[in-house]
Every structure is written in C-alpha cells, then in structure tokens.
Structure 1
C-alpha cells in the first residue's frame, strides 16, 4: 500500500474522513440493510454505549444484551448496527461500532463465507482496504465461484488501485453469474438486493477498461 493510501486509511479510522467514506458506502449499505430486513428480521437494536440492562425497553422489546449472545450472533448484531448507521449517514455511530464489529468477527473465527463477507465489508467501510481484500480472498479460496466473495474482492481491489486484479474478479462474475446466482446458498438469499446488481456493476467496470 502506498504511503498516501496508508495515510488516507488512517484518517478514515480516526474519524477525520469518515463522513466522506460513509457517503461512498451508503448506497451499498442501504441495499444490504433493506435486503436483510426483508429476509432475516432480527431482534431489537444493539444498545448504545450508554444503555444498560435497566434501561427502558425499546419499541420492539427490551434492549438486547450482546454479552449473552454467541460470538457470531454478537458480531452479526454489531454488523447490522454499523450498516444501518452507514445507510443513514450517521458517522458518529458508525465510528463507534465499527471497531467493535470487526473485533467481534475476529473473535468468532472460524467464520463461514457469509461471516467473511460481513468482515470484508466492515473493513472496507473502515478503510482497512488490505484487510478487506484478504477477507474476500478467503472466501474465493474456499469457493472460487462465490459471487459475493468475488464482488468484495473486486471492490477492495479497485479502492487499493489494483485494477488488474479487480478486472479479473469482475470478469469472473460476468462469466459465471447466470448459473452461479441460481445456487441455493443462504447468503445469496439473505443478500438478494446486492445480488441483483453484481453483474451490472461488473459490466460497467469492464466497459471502462
């Protein structure tokens, strides 16, 4: 990674550039949140740092205590909180929960492919671009045709300036999309709103090469 890219990533993590980064990620996050709410309704929101078990119940019931959840349940809940914050441009909440969510997924390892996709997306949102690419490549190494893994790898590669690598991932998406998108994978159903735009995004990138 170049010195300039390292400095930019550091500023994102520290919060100096987070509103700009959120603006770039908001549409993807909004697609994710809408799709997730359609196919996997979950319990109430993650409590903020100032909440406690004695706080007043939220509209949907008592505030959840993530300390009572399994590691992956806690990680997923924090991921949802981050993505919801990103989708509405709430940089303060996103900055608060991003490191917690990333740490939660790392504690929950070994992760399934959907968990790795979530971790890649979180690292990309935080500006940890090399980590985001590494997470995506973990998916592709296990399942070379996994569309979400290929897309996450391509997007991270673009932001790292690795356009040849991004092109390879996008070309693979275009080649296999019609058949691969029909696979009965839970994460494909959960992220159906994202799945519908992957091929178009890949074709748009390739048209500019």
Structure 2
C-alpha cells in the first residue's frame, strides 16, 4: 500500500527555465514554483517570479539580508562599548585628580567674593553668595579681581592656574592705559609670579623713572634682584627703600595703603638682610 503523495512531490516544468522541477523552488535556476512563499513577508510567490510582489524582496535573497542586518549591528555595539569605556576613564580621572594639579576652573572662576582688597572685606556669610557677573564690573574692578586671583593662586602653589589667569590679568591692566604706579606694580607682580621677568622689570623701571623713591618700585626691583641672584643690586634697592620709607609714607598714597603688607614685609626683610635693627 502506498501513501498519497503531496503536491510538492509532483514533477512540473519550471516557468522560468523550463527544466523539470519538484518542490517549491527550481533546482536549476532557483525560481519559485507553486506554493513558494516570500521569506521576508510570507506572501505567496507567483511561479517564476524574481521578486516578491508585496515587499519587493528578491527571491532567495531574504536570508542573506537578515544576516547582513545582524552583522551591521556589530559596529554600533563596539562604538557603544568604546563610549562607555571612555566615560568610565574620564570619570575615574575626575575622582582621582589631585586638587590644584591642573587649572582649578570652578574654584578660580571670576569674580569671587572676598578677593578684592580695594573693596570692603567679606564676612563669613558671603561664601554662600553667588558671585556677580564679571561683565557688570568696571575695567579697574576686573583688573583688581584678576590680580588678587593670581596672587592667591601663587601663594597656594597652583602654578598651572597662575599661568592660565596671568595673561588675562595682564590684558585687563593693559586696557587701563595710561597706567599709574599702583597699576604698574600690580602688572609687575603678576609678571614676577608668572615668570615674565622682563615685563616685571619694565614696570619697576617705569615707576622709578617717574619717582626714584617710590616704595613699590623699589620693592619690585628688590624682588627681581632676588630672583636674579644679584645680591649687589638687592642690597642697593633695600638701602634706598629704607631711606625713602619715612618721607614716602608721609605722602599717604593710595597704593601704599593698598599694598601695606607688601611694604611692611619688604622693610622687615631689608633690615634683616642688611643687619639693621627694626
């Protein structure tokens, strides 16, 4: 007894190439026979068709397209993993960074309350007050804030931050031209701590050219002589500083009041260096 045969077992002529074929596709040319369906949308294919009449998928090309789609996803997966690795590395640097080893951007943003010694001193509650927009400050106020910022960073040993802010500070002072002795001293001190010694020397020379006994000019020259290791010049400027002290302080210049600490420290150091009693 024989079992009934299925329709796919019947031999038929391929409508595309004319070869004898069985099943759903021609073994010679791959054309669909009766009962073949689209592998992409499952629609019934017309015998001999090259493309699906519903979705346009080429006959026999659906499976390779699916594999290609899976393959094309690989670069996106790799890119996502690379991004996550980069993010993790950046976050790790942020947590492990030593404070002050690079430019201290958030802490050194300008302006900040309590740093302008031309104004009134800030009280303990001012630390929580948001600093005003720097654009609202006058050119002199901007220069003052930058000067105090650079000096503070220098005392804290944050050299990277000093190098970052010093050019901005010098530019702010250049915009105040013509400069007075007070402003030239500030520029000279910025140049000193930033390593721009010729600029600092030029400011000191200009101050003393206008007033050979100006205390700030003598102090700046003495500091530069110390950096240069020129003991002869250092002692010369220190003697002139001590000799000019009484007469100059009697003039009560604004810059002497502002830089009173610098003057006091310089006089004390000069007397110590020269072996004089205070």
Alignment of 1:74-113 (within 5 A): 74-113=142-181
In the TM superposition, what is the alpha-carbon distance from 1:76 to its structure 2 partner?
1.4
> Where do 1:1-209 residues align within 5 Å?
37=117, 40-41=119-120, 59-65=128-134, 67-207=135-275
Equivalents in 2 of 1:115, 1:163: separation in Å? 27
**Structure 1 CA distance, aligned partners of 2:179 and 2:202?**
14
Cα shift readout 1:179-198 (whole Å, capped 9, x = no counterpart): 32232111111122222222
Deviation at 1:92, TM superposition (A): 3.5
Q: Please say which of residues 131-140 and 194-203 is displaced more in the overlay.
A: 194-203
Question: RMSD across aligned C-alpha pairs, in angstroms?
Answer: 2.9
The separation in 1 between residues aligned to 2:151 and 2:133, in whole angstroms, is 18
Quick check: 1:71–1:108 contact (8 Å CA) kept in 2?
A: yes
Secondary structure of 1:41's aligned partner: coil
Q: How many angstroms apart in 2 are the aligned matches of 1:182 and 1:86?
A: 31
Structure 1 residue 172: Cα displacement: 0.5
Task: Please state how far the C-alpha of 1:35 moved relative to its aligned partner.
Answer: 10
When you count helix as a share of all residues, which structure comes out higher? 1
Question: How far apart are residue 68 of structure 1 and its match?
Answer: 4.1
**Any gaps of 5 or more consecutive residues in structure 2?**
1-100, 102-113
TM-score by length of 2: 0.51
Deviation of 1:94 (Å): 2.1
Q: Per-residue CA shift, 1:78-123, capped at 9, x if unaligned?
A: 1111112223333343222111111221232211111001000000
Q: Distance in 2 between matches of 1:162 and 1:185?
A: 29
The structure whose Rg is larger is 2
- Residues in 1 aligned to 2:184 and 2:151: alpha-carbon distance in whole angstroms: 15
Q: Which consecutive residues of structure 1, in runs of 5 or more, have no partner in the other structure?
A: 1-18, 20-33, 44-57
* Higher deviation after alignment, 102-111 or 122-131: 102-111
Q: Secondary structure at the match of 2:132?
A: coil
TM-score, scaled to structure 1 = 0.66
Q: 1:42 to 1:139 in 2, by over 3 A?
A: farther
- The answer (yes or no) to whether the contact 1:35–1:192 under 8 Å persists in 2 is no
